[in-house]
Chain A
């Protein structure tokens, strides 16, 4: 088995481009779709402060998960508000702000609250600085440090019904595209098995001292590793490159990818067992992967699908359970124990698909 893995990885290193291209395309697609569905409200801003003070204040303001503050000149800010192109405009001053609004909305209410909080903290820092004869920067640092070790902690919880739907526009495309593209990567690795059969390398292995289980395990384990490496790499790029923290569940997500990639490897060997040649396999995998992505909720969240037929079909698609696990952990904050159900389904699918696939492949050989 080690000899097969060594040869396969050597072959992969000679030609890694398919996996690299797939990963890049996936990252680009997820980024574009994620950015397009960004939910932050844009607030045009002008300032009477110095450039440095304005930048510092804007940096703090833009830590908001709901608003995005963009600096422009006063005339433009007023024009945007007047024309209804912005929910509100903002004038920044040293100790206070002026909100320019055309009408009172929920957004302006939350915006005012947010601005008051930021200015309150700023004022607090300034007061401490004055009292202790320190610079504002030093004070901010002290406050931040103090907040890390508070005298007592408050835990907040929100009440949500069991069936409450959360659609996270940032997580959805990352999970969806990663799980979709890995189908191609894994399938084309498993396809090598069909090629090796056609070219006679498989027969050489059969006639060697290798056991049949070693040949299958070597080939399928290699496909699993390549597929897993791809999704782990994509998630890592978003985590460490783009700073997306997956709501603090990054390690769990990496663990949850295991049953999904396993099920896809098994699904691919099932297809190898069903088809007669490479062309059939390629046609079938293109058709099935896109269908699975649509039915399984990779392109759009299943939560918005109302058709009972589509929802029923989604139950036989591994991608559904992959999305359920990843969103369950990162979006719905479910524990690994709560995610045992989709994990078990994926393992079961994997075992069944692999059993049938290997059986069909063996039958064809004889």
Chain B
């Protein structure tokens, strides 16, 4: 349905996106995962025809849309990272405005506005001004504004940033429903692993402007099939223990979060014995040791040496 070919964007001397290749098939949800500054937003701005690429192409049903963006725009809904709404208008007035700019009018517009209000759960608050909404409600309306013209492709740029877990779940369920009931194709960018894991059929992982891994969730997790992810909880994190871990060539990556230390090591190594030996040497007391199934976070850590939210 949509394909980005060798997509590159330079801003003066900075290479924001470097030869990105990705594709979306009709009816699938594709995740674009990466930390802040990875180039996700620039990539989707180019895909959605908002900014022209420095080089490369975007093809929609095998036709380039760089010079003829209208072909894609007519079937595209975009949910920006910002709350792109008029805060001094009510939810209903906002939706009516965004419907009108897609040439909806009269009974059709009223019907669509009511449908979208129901879908995003704001029917009861439709006449309230957006500036009086909670963060979650604004995010839901932000999504609603992109759905009025029933787009075939929905591009969502971190649509759940800064909201409560309840609203986040509502949004994720709504996206899933749109995909299942209306066969809407979704390109979903996020730096929340759990969202991407929950929603997406396929995932692209981006870092420093490049795609560093892609595939289904299982395919990506299989990158770590030869490694253990071991999570060690300690009474107190000591520098000497961390130093000892870092000096071991068989320990690939180490992350520390409060009193939890996560390490990656090859499966053929008996990492338990090594960990206990090092603990004994450095007088470190373990409260628990656990081997975990690798997550996308672990994959990202493995690929980049950094945590996603660093």
Q: Which residues of A contact B (CB under 8 A)?
A: 3-4, 6-7, 10-11, 14-15, 198-201, 203-210, 365-366
Size of the B side of the interface (Cβ < 8 Å), in residues, is 28
**Assembly CA distance A210 to B89 (angstroms):** 20
Q: A201-B84, A204-B78 are in contact. Are A365 and B97 (CB under 8 A)?
A: no
In the complex, what residue of chain B is closest to A3 when comparing beta carbons?
B100
Number of A-B contacts (CB under 8 A): 65
Closest-CB distance, B42 to chain A (whole angstroms): 12
CA distance A227 to B151 in the complex (A): 38
A131–B200 Cα gap in the complex (Å)? 106
CA distance A203 to B48 in the complex (A): 10
Interchain CA distance A291-B98 in the complex, whole Å: 40
Closest B residue to A192 using CB positions: B86
Interchain CB contact under 8 A, B86 and A7: yes
| B85: A residues at CB distance < 8 A | 199, 201
Taking the complex as formed, is B219 at the interface, i.e. its CB lies under 8 A from any CB of chain A? no
Residues on the A chain within 8 Å of B86, using CB? 7, 11, 201
Given A201-B85, A204-B98, 20 new contacts (CB under 8 A): A3-B97, A7-B93, A199-B84, A200-B80, A200-B81, A200-B82, A200-B83, A200-B84, A201-B86, A203-B78, A204-B101, A204-B145, A207-B48, A209-B73, A209-B74, A209-B101, A209-B102, A365-B51, A366-B51, A366-B52
Among B93, B97, B101, B145, which residue has the most Cβ atoms of chain A within 10 A? Answer: B101
Cα distance A10–B81 when bound, in Å? 25
A195 CB to closest chain B CB (Å) equals 10
B interface vs A, CB < 8 Å?
A: 48-52, 73-74, 76, 78, 80-86, 88-89, 93, 97-98, 100-103, 129, 145-146
Whether A3 lies near B101 (C-beta < 8 A) is yes
Interchain CA distance A256-B42 in the complex, whole Å: 47
Contacts of A365 in B (CB 8 A): 50-51
Does A199 contact B82, Cβ atoms closer than 8 Å?
Answer: yes
Give chain B nearest CB distance to A366 CB in angstroms: 6
B11 to chain A, nearest CB (A): 11
Bound-state CA distance A287–B74 (Å) is: 43
Query: In the complex the two chains form, what is the Cα distance from A7 to B82 in whole Å?
Result: 20
Partner of A210, one of B78, B93, B101: B101
Complex A-B, nearest 8 residue pairs according to Cβ-Cβ distance, in ascending order: A200-B84, A3-B100, A200-B80, A208-B101, A200-B82, A14-B88, A7-B97, A209-B103
Kindly state the separation between the CA atoms of A14 and B103 in the bound complex, as whole angstroms. 25
Instruction: Say what secondary structure dominates the interface of chain B.
Output: loop
Q: B146 contacts which chain A residues (CB < 8 A)? A: 204
* CB atoms of A207 and B49 under 8 A apart: yes
Q: Contacts A207-B48, A365-B51 given: A198-B88 contact, CB under 8 Å?
A: no
* Also in contact, A11 and B82, with CB within 8 A (given A203-B50, A206-B50): no
**B78 proximity list for chain A (CB < 8 A):** 203-204, 207
**B112 vs chain A, min Cβ distance (A):** 14
Q: A348 CA to B290 CA in the complex, in Å?
A: 75
Could you say which residues of chain B place their CB within 8 Å of the CB of A3? 97, 100-101
Q: How far apart are B3's CB and chain A's nearest CB, in angstroms?
A: 19
A201 vs B130: C-alpha distance when bound (angstroms): 14
Inter-subunit contact B88/A199 (CB<8 Å): no
Q: Determine which residue in A14, A15, A207 has the highest number of CB atoms from chain B within 10 A of its CB, and name it.
A: A207
Cβ contacts A to B, 13 pairs, < 8 Å: A6-B97, A14-B89, A200-B80, A200-B82, A200-B83, A200-B84, A203-B84, A204-B78, A204-B146, A207-B49, A207-B78, A208-B102, A209-B102
Report chain B residues within 8 Å CB of A10.
89, 93
Q: Which residues of A contact B73 (CB under 8 A)?
A: 207-209
Q: In the assembled complex, which residues on chain B have CB atoms less than 8 Å from the CB atom of A7?
A: 86, 89, 93, 97
Residues B88 and A15 in contact, CB atoms below 8 Å apart = yes
Asked whether A203 and B88 contact (CB < 8 A) given A208-B101, A209-B102, the answer is: no
**Complex: how many Å from CA A10 to CA B50?**
27
A10-B93, A200-B82 are contacts. A205–B101 as well, Cβ < 8 Å? yes
Give bound CA distance, A208 to B85, whole Å.
Answer: 14
Which residues in B have their C-beta under 8 angstroms from that of A208? 73, 98, 101-102
- In the bound complex, what is the Cα–Cα distance between A7 and B51 (angstroms)? 26
Most buried by A among B83, B93, B97: B97
Residues of B within 8 A of A207 (CB): 48-50, 73, 76, 78
